[in-house]
């Protein structure tokens, strides 16, 4: 069993997908394979070329399960635990409809939207605390993340985030 609060790096979750002529049914077997208590569930829709992140909360850090309901995303998690041997390590996953990922607390997280329409559900172990949220600028020169997007669409807040070295 995977215990989300004990993970040291992101972990891909295998789903069970049933397809037929009507569409599909996706089962993420949380109860059988993952111990994860969530306090908040958020649904996010994004157009193609949207970049969200890299976000984290300084106080009240969150474990996250990212589940792609529709579309495809290029997902990134950066280890921001200063005393970790993997400090600054970037984990990258391409996720499509029906795929999920666990992101441990103390990771900055973000993704780029690759399909025309993308719907992502976040399951969060702690609530959202805007006063304690922070992030790393998407085009950080130290991290050099290739988001796979030519003309990124960003929120004003995300375009003003700090560099990795500043955090």
Say yes or no to pLDDT of 32 above 90. no
The catalytic position among 91, 109, 111, 122 is: 122
Active-site residue, 122 included: yes
Per-residue model confidence (pLDDT) at position 68: 93
Beta-bridge mates of residue 19: 24
Give the pLDDT confidence of 145-157 residue by residue, as tens digits: 999 998 999 999 9
Per-residue model confidence (pLDDT) at position 18: 81
pLDDT confidence bin for 4, thresholds 50/70/90: low
Give the pLDDT confidence of 35-65 residue by residue, as tens digits: 677 888 899 999 999 999 899 999 999 999 9
Each as own residue / partner, the long-range contacts of residues 28-32 (CB below 8 Å, 24 or more positions apart, any chain) are 28/65, 28/67, 28/100, 30/65
How far is it, in rounded angstroms, from Cα 18 to Cα 66?
20
What is the domain partition of the chain in residue ranges? 2-159
Active-site residue, 55 included: yes
Give the pLDDT confidence of 60-117 residue by residue, as tens digits: 999 999 999 999 999 999 999 999 999 999 999 999 988 999 999 999 999 999 999 9
The catalytic position among 11, 55, 111, 132 is: 55
Structure tokens given for 102: 């666990």
Backbone angles phi, psi at 156, to 5 degrees: -60, -40
* H helix or E strand, kind and range, residue 109: strand 107-113
Considering the domain 2-159 in this protein, what is its CATH number? Answer: 2.60.120.10
Per-residue model confidence (pLDDT) at position 159: 95
Q: Tell me which residue has tokens 């994004």.
A: 46
pLDDT confidence bin for 28, thresholds 50/70/90: low
What's this model's pTM, rounded to 2 decimal places?
Answer: 0.88
Q: Is 45 helix (H, G, I), strand (E, B) or coil?
A: strand
Helices assigned H by DSSP within 14-155: 30-33
């Amino acid at each position: 069993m995977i215990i989300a609060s004990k993970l040291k790096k992101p972990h891909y979750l295998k789903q069970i997908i049933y397809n037929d002529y009507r569409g599909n049914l996706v089962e993420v077997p949380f109860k059988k394979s993952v111990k994860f208590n969530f306090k908040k569930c958020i649904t996010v829709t994004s157009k193609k070329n949207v970049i969200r992140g890299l976000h984290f909360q300084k106080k009240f850090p969150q474990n996250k399960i990212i589940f792609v309901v529709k579309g495809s995303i290029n997902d990134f998690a950066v280890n921001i635990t200063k005393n970790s041997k993997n400090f600054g390590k970037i984990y990258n996953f391409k996720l499509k409809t029906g795929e999920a990922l666990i992101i441990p607390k103390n990771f900055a997280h973000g993704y780029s939207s690759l399909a025309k329409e993308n719907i992502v559900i976040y399951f969060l172990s702690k609530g959202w605390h805007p006063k304690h949220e922070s992030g790393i600028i998407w085009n950080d020169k130290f991290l050099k993340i290739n988001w796979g997007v030519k003309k990124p669409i960003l929120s004003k807040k995300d375009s003003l985030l700090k560099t990795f070295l500043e955090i």
